[in-house]
Amino acid sequence: MEPLGTFEIIIRVLYQLSSVWIALLLLFALSIAFKRRLGLYGKLFDSPIGMIGFGLVMFWVFVGIFGAMDLIITHDPLSQVSGMKNKLPGTPLAGAEQGEYAWYLLGGDNLARDVFSRVIKGAWIVVQIAPLATLFAFMVGITLGLPAGYYGGRLDTFLSFLANLILAFPVILLFYLLVTPEIVATGLPTMMAIVLFMFPIIFLGVLLNSRYRTQPAFRTPLLIGVLGFALWLYLALISEGGYLVRSIPGLPSVLDPFDIPGGILVVFVSVVFVNSPTVFRIVRGLAMDIKTRDYVAAAQTRGEGPWYIMLWEILPNARGPLIVDFCLRIGYTTILLGTLGFFGLGLPPESPDWGSTINEGRKLLSIYLHPALPPALALLSLVLGLNLLADGLREESLKD
């Protein structure tokens, strides 16, 4: 078979991504049709920058999701095909069998794996970890930053010192110290996970309790339901092979339906750990600013509890800057994940995540460009999309 020409490669890649295009079209059509009823999200479609950013981000989200469902990829991202080592984009597979995709669309890497499929699979890793880790960092930052800003005093001094302590650590040094197989073997990441993953539960519990404290008949079942589910997720997340669940007597190991491999857990935990002090500082600053407003004084006069004021008066009014920072921070987390992969920390070496792929591809960069460039451009476009989205959101939220 003939190798594909450039034009044909582009057409075929676009065709492989057809499910993504359909999903994007549907999303944009629906959102634009109903944009007046969708609040801040709808307003995003008034600004071209925001729309481009949102489009780029959703493109990679859909690529990640559909890639995980095996709709897009042409080959298994881990399987090696003989004779395809470092082959240029569009090279036909030597001896392709019936039903197998006959080309390596973006060429093969130095272990003869399909670059296209690896980039697609890598998107799923980022789309899974980055937003979730950012969300966790926000929960930690909000739960600690609100009281620090609201109460001030010793609590604030202490928490700020801790935050500055972590911030003074160069991120790379921290990663090199934390994300190693030796540290995973000591169980330290699990300990950190136990502490860090507790914050979302505390956050949820306090959030709901402070709101519905006055209606016990409604509050109690709600809290039991929500916290029960959260606790179950918590146990399942932190325990490996039913380890923690089984150590508490009376709990069946059925409660631990999924395991997170130690490598992924340590990456997740350290990314949350690195991000949360910055979020803490932002939330603290916002809380200090907002607590002097009249509506906070009104709530205090009404006799509302401090946590109600923090979570239902201050937090909603701080949402604008927080949402913008959330978008930027997902981008930053993506960069951090890439850095980890680039230094070969945490994730298994054959993992198709973008950082590892760039790291592998750079070794032969002066001869073969095609293994390193697609993941680099993918990472670039996702982070760019997140930055543009944050810019659009900022612009639109300032218009109110």
Partner 1 sequence: MGLFILRRFGVMLLTALCLTFIVFFLTNLYPNLEKLAKTQGNQRMSDEQVQTWLDNRGYSEPLLTKYGRWLGVVPGFTKTLNDGQFVGSCVRPGVTQEETPRFCGIAQGDWGYSTRFKADVDEIIWKRLGNTLYLMMWVMILMVPSALLVGVLAGMREGSRTDRSLSTFSILSTATPEYVSGVIFIAVFTSSTVGLKWFKGTATQAMEEPTFENFFLPVLTIALYGMGYIARMTRASMTEVMTAQYIRTARLKGVSFPNIVIKHALRNALIAPFTVIMLQFPWLLNGVVIVESLFNYKGFGWVLVEAAGNNDIQLLLAVSVVSVFVVLITQLISDIGYVYLNPRIRIS
The Cα 351–Cα 268 span in angstroms is 15
Angle in degrees, CA 353, 358, 363, rounded to 5: 140
Only one of the segments 110-118, 232-240, 268-276, 352-360 lies at the binding site for partner 1 (rule: CB under 8 A); that segment is 352-360
Min separation Cβ 175 and partner 1, Å:
9
The residue among 317 and 339 lying less far from partner 1, judged by its C-beta, is 339
User: Cβ of residue 202: shortest distance to partner 1, in angstroms?
Assistant: 24
By CB under 8 A, tell whether 182 contacts partner 1: yes
Binding mask 303-342 for partner 1 (x = CB under 8 A): ----------------------------x---x--xx--x
- Give CA 273 to chain center in angstroms: 14
- The DSSP line for 372-384 is THHHHHHHHHHHH
Q: Which stretch binds partner 1 (CB under 8 A): 39-47, 65-73, 228-236, 353-361?
A: 353-361
Which of 50, 145, 200, 361: binder of partner 1 (CB under 8 A)? 361
The H or E element spanning position 104 is strand 103-104
User: Could you give the C-alpha distances from 168 to 145, 153, 172, in angstroms and in order?
Assistant: 18, 22, 12
Out of 169, 212, 243, 312, the only residue in the binding site for partner 1 (CB under 8 A) is 169
Q: Is 24 in the site for partner 1 (CB under 8 A)?
A: no
CA dist list (Å): 81 to 9, 150, 217 = 20, 60, 63
CA-CA-CA-CA dihedral for 197, 342, 326, 262, to nearest 10 = -10
The DSSP letter of residue 169 is S
**Residue at token pair 């009104």:** 298
Among 30, 69, 231, 365, the residue binding partner 1 under the rule CB under 8 A is 365
Q: CA-to-CA distance for 266 and 186, rounded, in angstroms?
A: 12
What residues make contact with partner 1 under the rule CB under 8 A?
161, 164-165, 167-173, 176-178, 180, 182-183, 185-186, 188, 331, 335, 338-339, 342-343, 355, 358-359, 361-362, 365-369, 372-373, 376-377, 379-380, 383-384, 386-388, 391
